[in-house]
Amino acid sequence: MYLARPALDERCRCCRGHRAADRQRPAIACKGSNMTIHQGSCLCGNVTFAIKGDLPPPSACHCTACRKHSGHFEASVDIPRSALTVTGEAFVGWYQSSEKVRRGFCKTCGSTLFWDPIFHDWTAVAMGAFDTPTHTKIAQHIFVSEKGDYYDIADGLPQNQS
C-alpha cells in the first residue's frame, strides 16, 4: 500500500515546529512529540474536537443537573479554550442550565460534550467523548450530596459534598 509522504518542507503534523522530512528520519526525534493532541467526538461523529497538551485530572460531578444531562454522573476535564478546537460546531446544541453555565451536546445524536461556564476562559469536556487515550484519572468527586441512591462511590477518592 502506498502511503503519501508529506512534502519535504511541510511542517510536522504533530508540532508544526520543524520540517516533516526530519521526522521521517528515525534518528531525529520529533521535538514536539511531548505536545500531545487528544481527540474526541460525539456518537454520530458530526462533532469532533482536538485538545493540545496534557489533560489535567478530571472531576466527577454528581449534581442533579449533571446526572440528568449525562444520564449518570458527569466526568469532565477543564480545558483552556485556547487549547480546544471544535469541528462541526453547527451540530452543537447549547442548553443554558443556569445563569452562568451552558451545556453542549450533539444535536444529532444527543451526546453530552461540553460544560461551559460562560464567564470563564475554559470549557469542561466530557470524558466519555474522548477517542484517544486520555492518560489521566479522575481525581475527585463533587456534589456528592446530590448523588443518586442507586450507586456507591467506592474508589477511595476525595468526595466533596458541593
The window from 28-36, 58-66, 133-141, 153-161 that contacts Zn ion (CB under 5 A) reads 58-66
Give least dist CB 69 to Zn ion, A: 8
63 binds Zn ion (CB under 5 A): yes
Give least dist CB 1 to Zn ion, A: 31
Of 12 and 116, which CB lies nearer to Zn ion in the complex structure?
116
C-alpha cell at position 82: 485556547
Please give the residues from 98 up to 117 whose contact with Zn ion meets the rule CB under 5 A. 106, 108-109
Give least dist CB 143 to Zn ion, A: 5
The window from 22-30, 39-47, 77-85, 124-132 that contacts Zn ion (CB under 5 A) reads 39-47
Residue 34 and residue 18 in contact, taking contact as beta carbons nearer than 8 Å: no
What's the chain's length in residues? 162
Q: Which residues of 22-57 are buried (b: 16+ CB within 10 A; e: fewer)?
A: ebeeeeeebebeeebebebbbeeebbbbebeeebee
Amino acid found at 51: I
